[in-house]
Amino acid sequence: MTDRNGASRRDFLRAGLAGGAAALATGTVARAAGPDPAITEQQPWRTMLGEGVDARPYGAPSQYEAHVVRRNVEWLTADPISSVNFTPLHELEGIITPNGLCFERHHGGIAEIDPAKHRLMINGLVDTPLVFTMADLMRFPRENRVYFLECAANSGMEWRGAQLNGCQYTHGMIHNLVYTGIPLKYLLDEAGVRTNGKWILPEGGDAAGMTRSIPIEKAMEDCLVAFKMNGEALRPEQGYPLRLVVPGWEGNMWVKWLRRIEVGDEPWHHREETSKYTDLLAGGKARRFTWVMDAKSVITNPSPQAPITHGRGPAVLSGVAWSGRGTIPRVDVTIDGGKNWYQARMDGPSFDKSMHRFYFEFDWDGSPLLLQSRAHDSTGYVQPTKDELRAFRGYESIYHNNGIQTWYVNEKGEAENVEVS
């Protein structure tokens, strides 16, 4: 078995041995055949017919998966209207986030928009100001692309030290979806951007009226005006009926409930790009317009919400990595706090500015572990430690924490958030 990186399964096992972390798997993980009430006793689902095809016109997960939900940290915000909840990363596999589990970040609650009454206006420094109905937009060519959206504040609570116990809370302000949308360039070209048109200001139709300044180069390069997520209409939480997709750039710029795009000759310096979404440095200066999300990764299993429950022996480590600058050709993992690093096995599709899945199979000898992952992106950039970040960003930052995360696993397999930098 060989993966994209040319490393074979045998190499991983050898790496495990070389690190002294584990012995080769000898037995099998399955139990020996014997009496088992799960087999010998009739279960109710075998003794009666089930519901028919019309019982569930829009499907929902099994009742046994009811714990797999977005969760909020109540003390983080004053109320749930201008707040955030988190994607349960530790319950997910592959690279696509299910629509009902995408974290939500609203500044004025969820707008419930009637698409028949929704309009998209393009005005400002254009030859012809235009207004599009949803029906008008459906006549433009569309594209399908997989992108992650990460809030710049993801992991912000971890800047000064380990705080929240679970990757859902430390890293769950991210989702990764297949978008169907119209390249923004087509709409801007229709209106005719004047030569002095250098910036756009997308505006949301929600009560918060979210606005951000985006350079025209990015608007023309790869932004989409999206109307579908994972094949179906955007959810109201994600901006139904229209949202701006700004690949690789911080989530705040992905304006939901998109109603207007103004073209201007300079940035607007609105709230979300001055008092918020800037990084206060040690000297009192602030970094501004830090749009791109740098390479980052996190181990989703084991993690505080997903402990090892099977005892020693064969174990699967699973995680995700992403970069706003390209793809993720490689992730390294350590199970001993950085003494030994091994190359993880990348698995699943690799798209530009999308989440990637990685695995590391190892034999757990039952001793405590310090788990870390380190992403490399296609530009050659390597995910830094938190101390490396603080060395040039100081201690006052919130946004753009892409530092290496550590989980401590004790002898019982329980995991907790710690920092080893």
Ligand X SMILES: Nc1nc2c(c(=O)[nH]1)N[C@H]1C(S)=C(S)[C@@H](COP(=O)(O)O)O[C@H]1N2
How far, in Å, CA of 195 to CA of 403, rounded? Answer: 40
Is 92 a residue that touches ligand X (CB under 6 A)? Answer: no
Q: How far is the CB of 9 from ligand X (least distance, A)?
A: 37
Backbone φ and ψ for 355, nearest 5 degrees, come out as -70, 150
332 is in the binding site of which of ligand X, Mo ion, none (Cβ under 5 to 8 A by kind)? Answer: none
Is 403 a residue that touches ligand X (CB under 6 A)? Answer: no
Query: For tokens 């979404």, what's the residue?
Result: 277
Q: How far is the CB of 175 from ligand X (least distance, A)?
A: 6
Q: What is the edge-to-edge ordering of all strands in the sheet holding 83-86?
A: 71-72, 83-86, 105-106
Is 90 a residue that touches ligand X (CB under 6 A)? Answer: no
How far, in Å, CA of 181 to CA of 149, rounded? Answer: 15
Is 177 a residue that touches ligand X (CB under 6 A)? Answer: no
Is 204 a residue that touches ligand X (CB under 6 A)? Answer: yes
Nearer to ligand X, 192 or 209 (CB): 209
21 is in the binding site of which of Mo ion, ligand X, none (Cβ under 5 to 8 A by kind)? Answer: none
Is 104 a residue that touches ligand X (CB under 6 A)? Answer: yes
Is 107 a residue that touches ligand X (CB under 6 A)? Answer: yes
Is 16 a residue that touches Mo ion (CB under 5 A)? Answer: no
| Burial class of residue 295 in the structure, from the number of CB atoms within 10 Å of its CB (0-12 exposed, 13-18 middle, 19+ buried) | buried
User: Judged by CB under 6 A, which of 15, 96, 146, 151 binds ligand X?
Assistant: 151
Could you give the C-alpha distances from 410 to 155, 304, 367, 415, 417, in angstroms and in order?
A: 23, 11, 7, 7, 12
Nearer to ligand X, 245 or 328 (CB): 245
Nearer to ligand X, 86 or 364 (CB): 86
Query: For tokens 């990363």, what's the residue?
Result: 89
Q: How far is the CB of 206 from ligand X (least distance, A)?
A: 4
User: Judged by CB under 6 A, which of 103, 179, 227, 407 binds ligand X?
Assistant: 103
Q: How far is the CB of 215 from ligand X (least distance, A)?
A: 18
Could you give the C-alpha distances from 216 to 127, 223, 298, in angstroms and in order?
A: 16, 10, 33
Site for Mo ion in 96-115 (CB under 5 A): 105
Q: Give Cα 169 distance to the centre of its chain.
A: 12
Name the residue number minimizing CB distance to ligand X. 204
Q: How far is the CB of 86 from Mo ion (least distance, A)?
A: 12
398 is in the binding site of which of ligand X, Mo ion, none (Cβ under 5 to 8 A by kind)? Answer: none
107 is in the binding site of which of Mo ion, ligand X, none (Cβ under 5 to 8 A by kind)? Answer: ligand X
Burial 146-163 (b: 16+ CB within 10 A, else e): bbbbbbbbbbbbbbeebe
How far, in Å, CA of 69 to CA of 88, rounded? Answer: 6
Site for ligand X in 233-292 (CB under 6 A): 237-238, 251-252, 254-257
Is 147 a residue that touches ligand X (CB under 6 A)? Answer: no
User: Judged by CB under 6 A, which of 158, 206, 332, 377 binds ligand X?
Assistant: 206
3-state secondary structure of 287: strand
Could you give the C-alpha distances from 6 to 146, 308, 330, 347, in angstroms and in order?
A: 25, 29, 11, 12
Half-sphere exposure for 399 (CA within 13 Å, toward CB):
25
User: 3-state SS of the chain: helix, strand, coil percent to 5?
Assistant: 20, 30, 50
Q: How far is the CB of 268 from Mo ion (least distance, A)?
A: 18
User: Judged by CB under 5 A, which of 87, 213, 252, 406 binds Mo ion?
Assistant: 252
| 8-state DSSP, 191 | H
User: Judged by CB under 5 A, which of 89, 151, 162, 182 binds Mo ion?
Assistant: 151
Is 300 a residue that touches Mo ion (CB under 5 A)? Answer: no
> Contact positions toward Mo ion, by CB under 5 A?
105, 151, 251-252
> Contact positions toward ligand X, by CB under 6 A?
102-107, 149, 151, 175, 204, 206, 208, 210, 237-238, 251-252, 254-257
